[in-house]
Amino acid sequence: MMLPTRKKNIFFIVLAVVSCAAMVLMCGPACAKNVKVPIGLNLELTGGLAATKLPVSYGLLDYIKYINDEGGFEYKANGKAYKAKYDIIWADNGFSVARSMTNVRRFAGKGAKVILTA
């Protein structure tokens, strides 16, 4: 069964945010207060599919900014509750594989724990 495009986009945004939170939980006791988790957003803002990907790309970016504006997200490590925020690193790949690979390498070089695309 295929999901309608809008529901599919929302599903992937929620999946991405949950994946980012899971990565933070894996950092364990090394995590401290005021943690910033770097994540890379490889977005398609220009190029052949920009008309269909633009709303989802901006939606993902806005949702992560919203989480940060609300104080971040809470996670537990060793029985203690902590707050963390996302450090957003984003770039346009222009629907180009070469640019997309360049973005991924740059995100990894900046320490991104998760790399998402919309």
pLDDT score of 29 more than 50: no
Tell me the pairing of strands 80-92 and 73-77: antiparallel
For tokens 């894996």, what's the residue?
26
More confident residue, 69 or 34: 69
Instruction: Compute the average pLDDT of residues 22-47.
Output: 72
Tell me the average pLDDT across 106-118.
Answer: 91
Sheet with 80-92, edge to edge strand ranges: 73-77, 80-92, 35-43, 114-117
Q: The whole model's pTM is what?
A: 0.68
| Confidence category of residue 81, pLDDT binned at 50, 70, 90 | confident
Asked if 44 and 103 count as a contact pair (C-beta separation under 8 A), the reply is no
What average pLDDT does the segment 98-105 reach?
A: 95
**What is the amino acid identity at position 43?**
L
DSSP H helical ranges for the chain = 5-25, 50-69, 97-109
